[in-house]
Structure 1
Amino acid sequence: MQSTSRTVSRLTLLGLPGSGKGTYGSLLSSQLSLPILTASAIMSSKMTPEMREVTKKGNLVPDAWIGGVMKDAVLSSGHKNVDEMVVEGDSSQRGEPAYILDGYPRTEGQALQCLDDWEERIRTDLAVFIDVPKEVVLAKLSGRLVCVECGKGYNDVAVDAGGFDMPTMLPSNGSRSQCDCGGCLRRRDDDTDAGVVEERLRVYERQTKPVIDLFAERGKLYTFTPFRGVADIGKLYEKFE
């Protein structure tokens, strides 16, 4: 990362599908008091039936469309006077849009949008790359659960391989079928088809990995490897103290 100090208020989370972007994003959002903007949820409300068919096959929607949708979401996000989160880089202004992006950018073209094309006051400050290998991701994808009522995510598969020791993440009631809020838990549709899962990972390697390289070249990348899953979140918090 860059060597001079800056206040960070605009983040994006990068990583393989199933690496935990939603989980870590939610924790960071609470810790840093930043609104989280989840691309999948935002796009879902804007998608045409044709676009839904594209995503069901594991492909990505056009950069220009998603860039416009995400920019609108950023401009509508909460504003904040930020002076407590300091990492490396140059200074940012007070009172500007503040956010954590989950699921965007996913291509180099999208990354150039939020790094260069957007007006300076809303450009992304830093990317956090959640570094989880493919074999661990495949195991965790098979266990993902989501509440149909509140949208909270869980995972009923534990992983102990390759130096990773990730326990299950279940509701406090220990159920695999009912959320703490009382809502029903279900598997995500895009996690249940092995062919779609493999295609999503291939798309990531082809289109999203260059995004990580671009943020690294700009000195705007921090790599977080959660060997113990959410138990390691404190190491991520330390980077923003």
Structure 2
Amino acid sequence: MKLLSTIILLTMAVAMADRDEDAWNFYKFQFGKAHSPQEDAVRKQNFLARDRVIDKHNRENKEWQMAHNKFSDMSEEEKLNILGVKPTIRRERSVGGYYPVMDRQLPTSIDYRTDKCMQAVKDQGQCGSCWSFAAVVPIEFNTCKKTGTAVSFSEQMLVDCDTYDGGCNGGMYTNAWQYIKEKGGIMKSSAYSYTSGSTGLAGTTCKFDSTAVATKVTAFDWTMPYPNATVSMNFLQSEGPLPSAIKILDSFYSYAYDERNKGFIVWLC
């Protein structure tokens, strides 16, 4: 009986190991992951730990579901490094207040994803530069609304050049707008392309070219009173997208589907 029990347990262990290896290999294929043999072993353990968290959550929670994404094989330190918003360094003295008209009829929903002025989703990669992406989106949108032509502006310029923020070590979108305002404008992505996503580092030099400025920032404000969801809704309807900083819990790294909203999240920043 002891021999039979040992054989059964050994068979189960082999089956679980095969299952883990298959899941890991499929994950790497699905998300285009390629590691050195030494790194692969560490990444696999990160993935398997996350896999257990996801499986447990999905068996116990019916309101929202978790799933694997590009973050599943990252270490906790790596995930923290890409959380780049640092409101403590914002320059409050440079920011005023915007009070939107509150007597308009609000629609039940607004979806800017199909608007020609909304750029395709961008990816900050391994750089803690989400603040620069948040800063650029409303500039792109409002410039397009004025000119009628969709345009993509340079996050890399902010990462490399913005002296009020910390490049891949975090920043704040209001700081970025102040920098653009003082610098005289921002360049297009085509003139200053994004490279920090693969390196995790800002460029060694600022390559800002004043002759290549594509648009300017003349003013910016907080939506007031703050915080107020109705104020934000009014602004979204009348002015377009606005950046917002949220606190990221560990479970949010694997958020996939909300039964209440019937929708999936596509990771962007």
TM-score range, shorter chain: under 0.3
User: Which has more helix, going by share of residues?
Assistant: 2
User: Which has more strand, going by share of residues?
Assistant: 1
Q: Which has the higher contact order (CA 8 A, sep 6+)?
A: 1
| Higher Rg | 2
Taking structure 2 as the reference length, the TM-score comes to: 0.22
